[in-house]
Chain A
């Protein structure tokens, strides 16, 4: 990273934050502070929804996912357009009709106070705990590869996001997200162009795609009904639908992005913008990873992409083992490269028998290289059981730092920071809004009449949540297991919250008491199942949602069908 990179990186990051703060410094209205500009069009809303979902980990991990396992992960997004159509047709019109600040306020209107507080409380618990992770996770990777101090990255990103989110609230979040997305799109297009230009002469995109496909990296759609397969069309449609419906329809960090704006039409078009673009966008990011895989077949790849971790061991007491593995991997990679070239020659000769044999030899050579990589990871684990051997998150950033020209490196590092800031600001904004509206204002109804005080309180909660996130990220290094637990926690709660909202929208005779106790029972069931069964935690989204709906209907039947209609409406 040289001076040009620093200028691009700091110029874009500080420039966007300063612009956002300056443009929104006079925000006095609570409505604008919590719901954004009343004149925002569909483009601003659409980019804001997209930027909120795309965190730094998206741009660090997803190319790595394409590199390691291929582009099949794109199927995870198949439920998203369907979920967004439901949100547009059912959720958004209701939120706007009731003019709510938070989605949990809607639960209060539809059911009662306790259900609203339950929904808001689950959101604060889940998002509040993960607030530090969204700063820490990219910071640890960037500090490892760039050699910068972890605490400096955490404090810098934390303070930057706190300053403009506190200053302009939701309006500043949307405004900065628009420019941050411009940096992200610009950076990703630059990286893709450089990667295509650096592929071996004569290979081109089509040749690279054929190599990636032959080595199993381009299976975008898997129609298999085998439940043990991680990504299939069916799991993507079903699991993705529930996950996306829960995230876009009920999670305040997303709801807040689209309930404001000039009109219902703008919100709807903003969501449809995401429904149309999200799958192609994720496909391109994954394809970039698959092309990186091909690129590294012709360049000598490192045996382990987290080089700082690898070198630490290579220079240690057991260094000879690691150096021997490096040598074996270099030989295996050279064999693979030779086998790929032989296959490409056989393809152009159009001799089916020779091509088939060359293809088998290429796949075999690739397996041998993979086996050495697995051995290298096992050696790392043997040397230090705490070592993280998943290095796919380091693939793209390694390419950026070693193959991109200066200036572009700064731009791509700015992409990571822009993504971190855009998702973090929306998260802080949502946490502060929920704390202010669903808790502080709810318990101080008289104070709600003082608009200036409401804005001041919302600003203080934004700053408090920001400082909590920074403090958590600074100490997260001591609690790696806690981070994983927090990620799992999200899936454990999401399903039940979605269940409450689906009952609210679609089963009109169920009342507040029935849904509240059903949600508590469903949440207990999910937690008990989590500790006693061994199933993928994504399934808890579906189980929690189904249990909540079923228990609500049963409980309402016990309480009496008419009871639901007379409850709530006051909270």
Chain B
């Protein structure tokens, strides 16, 4: 008999479990900040070598 897949009971409240990140909002902010840093570094790379 097919057992229907069980819905994930753990909700958004489940913490990221990463040191320094208590909420997912902080993880997203970190990733966004990383993205901005990468773009800034790429712009600096362009400026240095072009």
- Give the distance in Å from the alpha carbon of A213 to the alpha carbon of B10 in the complex: 50
- Give the distance in Å from the alpha carbon of A263 to the alpha carbon of B48 in the complex: 44
* Pairwise interchain contact A218-B38, C-beta atoms closer than 8 A: no
* Pairwise interchain contact B31-A450, C-beta atoms closer than 8 A: no
- Give the distance in Å from the alpha carbon of A233 to the alpha carbon of B40 in the complex: 11
Interface positions, chain B 1-30, Cβ under 8 Å from A, are: 1-8, 10-12, 14-18, 24, 27-28
* Pairwise interchain contact A218-B10, C-beta atoms closer than 8 A: no
Q: Is A268 an interface residue (CB 8 A)?
A: yes
Q: A88-B28, A448-B2, A449-B1 are in contact. Are A275 and B7 (CB under 8 A)?
A: no
* Pairwise interchain contact A98-B7, C-beta atoms closer than 8 A: yes
Q: Mark A199-226, 1 if CB is under 8 A from B, else 0.
A: 0000000000110111010111101000
* Pairwise interchain contact A213-B50, C-beta atoms closer than 8 A: yes
- Give the distance in Å from the alpha carbon of A209 to the alpha carbon of B46 in the complex: 10
Residues of A within 8 A of B28 (CB): 85, 88-89
* Pairwise interchain contact B12-A93, C-beta atoms closer than 8 A: yes
Q: Which residue of A lies closest to B7 (CB)?
A: A99
Q: A263-B8, A449-B2, A451-B1 are in contact. Are A209 and B35 (CB under 8 A)?
A: no
Give how many A residues have a beta carbon under 8 Å from the other chain's beta carbons: 47
Q: Which residue of B lies closest to A34 (CB)?
A: B5
Q: How many A-B contacts at CB < 8 Å in the complex?
A: 100
Q: Is A279 an interface residue (CB 8 A)?
A: yes
- Give the distance in Å from the alpha carbon of A183 to the alpha carbon of B34 in the complex: 27
Chain B, interface size category, equals 20 to 34
Instruction: Return the contact of A210 from the options B4, B6, B42, B49 (Cβ within 8 A).
Output: B49
**B33 CB → nearest A CB, Å:** 10
Q: Mark A248-271, 1 if CB is under 8 A from B, else 0.
A: 000000000000000111001100
Q: Is A96 an interface residue (CB 8 A)?
A: yes
Q: Is A334 an interface residue (CB 8 A)?
A: no
* Pairwise interchain contact A82-B7, C-beta atoms closer than 8 A: no
* Pairwise interchain contact A280-B24, C-beta atoms closer than 8 A: no
**A540 CB → nearest B CB, Å:** 26
The 9 closest A-B pairs by CB, nearest first: A213-B49, A96-B8, A99-B5, A451-B2, A220-B42, A81-B35, A99-B7, A221-B43, A218-B49
Q: Give me 16 A-to-B residue pairs in the complex whose CB atoms sit less than 8 angstroms apart, sorted by A's number.
A: A81-B32, A85-B28, A88-B24, A93-B11, A96-B7, A99-B5, A99-B6, A99-B8, A101-B5, A209-B49, A212-B49, A220-B46, A221-B39, A265-B14, A276-B34, A454-B2
